[in-house]
Amino acid sequence: MPDHAPQTVTAFTLNGAPVAVAAHPFTPLSDTLREGLGLTGTKVGCEAGDCGACTVLIDGAQACACLIPTAQAEGTAITTIEGEEGAIPRLRAAFLAHGAAQCGICTPGMILAAADLLARDDTPDRGAVEDAIGGVLCRCTGYRKIVDAILSAAHGDVAQPHEAPVGEAVGARINRLDGWPKVAGTDRFGADVVPSGALWLRTVRSPHPRATFTLGDLESARHRLGLVAILTAADVPGENGFGIMPGLKDWPVLAPGHVRFRGEAVLALVGDRAAVMAVRDADLPITWTPLLALDSPRAALAAGAPILHSHAPDNVLTRGHLESGDVESAFAHSAATTEGQFETAFVEHAYIEPEAGHAEIVAGRAEVTACTQAPAMDREEVARVLGIPLDDVRIIPTACGGGFGGKLDVSVQPLLAAAAKVTGRAVRTVYSRTESMASTTKRHPARIRARMAADADGRFTAYALEGDFDTGAYASWGPTVANRVPVHASGPYRVPNVRNTTRAVYTNNTPAGAFRGFGVPQAAIATECLVDDLAEQLAMDRWGIRRLNALGHGDATPSGQVLHASAGLPECLDALRPGWDAMLAEAARRNAGKPRHRVGAGIACMWYGCGNTSMSNPSTMRVTLSADGTLTLFNGAVDIGQGSATVIAQVAADALGLPVAAVRQVLGDTDRTPDAGKTSASRQTFVSGRAAMEAGLALRRRILALANAGPDARLSLQGTTLRVEDGDASRSISLSGLPVAPDGTVLEGVGTYDPPTSPLDANGQGIPYATYGFAAQLALVRVDTALGTVKVERIEAAQDVGRAVNPTLVEGQIHGGIAQGLGLALMEEFIPGRTENLHDYLIPTAGDVPDITIHLIEDPEPEGPYGAKGVGEPALIPTAPAILGAIRHATGARITRIPVLPHRLWEAMQR
- 751-769 pLDDT, tens digit per residue, is 999 999 999 999 999 999 9
Q: Higher model confidence: residue 552 or residue 248? A: 552
**Helices and strands (H, E) in the chain, number of each type:** 22, 33
Would you state the pLDDT for residue 244? Answer: 74
Would you state the pLDDT for residue 1? Answer: 47
What mean pLDDT is predicted for residues 314-324? 97
What mean pLDDT is predicted for residues 38-50? 97
Give the pLDDT confidence of 551-605 residue by residue, as tens digits: 999 999 999 999 999 999 999 999 999 999 999 999 999 999 999 999 999 999 9
pLDDT at 252 over 70: yes
pLDDT at 2 over 60: no
684 DSSP assignment: I
What mean pLDDT is predicted for residues 704-710? 96
Give the pLDDT confidence of 334-387 residue by residue, as tens digits: 999 999 999 999 999 999 999 999 999 999 999 999 999 999 999 999 999 999
Task: Band the pLDDT of 163: cuts 50, 70, 90.
Answer: confident
Task: Band the pLDDT of 411: cuts 50, 70, 90.
Answer: confident
Give the pLDDT confidence of 564-577 residue by residue, as tens digits: 999 999 999 999 99
Q: Higher model confidence: residue 263 or residue 410? A: 263
What mean pLDDT is predicted for residues 828-850? 96
pLDDT at 897 over 50: yes
What mean pLDDT is predicted for residues 780-804? 98
Three-state SS annotation for 407-446: CCCCCHHHHHHHHHHHHCCCEEEECCHHHHHHHCCEECCE
Average of per-residue pLDDT values in the chain: 97
Burial class (CB in 10 A: 0-12, 13-18, 19+), 303: middle
pLDDT at 409 over 90: no
Helices (H), 637-709: 644-656, 689-707
Give the pLDDT confidence of 739-752 residue by residue, as tens digits: 999 999 999 999 99
Q: Are strands 663-667 and 631-635 parallel, antiparallel or unpaired?
A: parallel
Three-state SS annotation for 471-510: EECCCCCHHHHHHHHHHHCCCCECCCEEEEEEEEEECCCC
Rounded CA-CA distance 735/435 in Å is: 53
Could you count the other beta carbons within 10 Å of the beta carbon of residue 265?
A: 21
What mean pLDDT is predicted for residues 795-819? 98
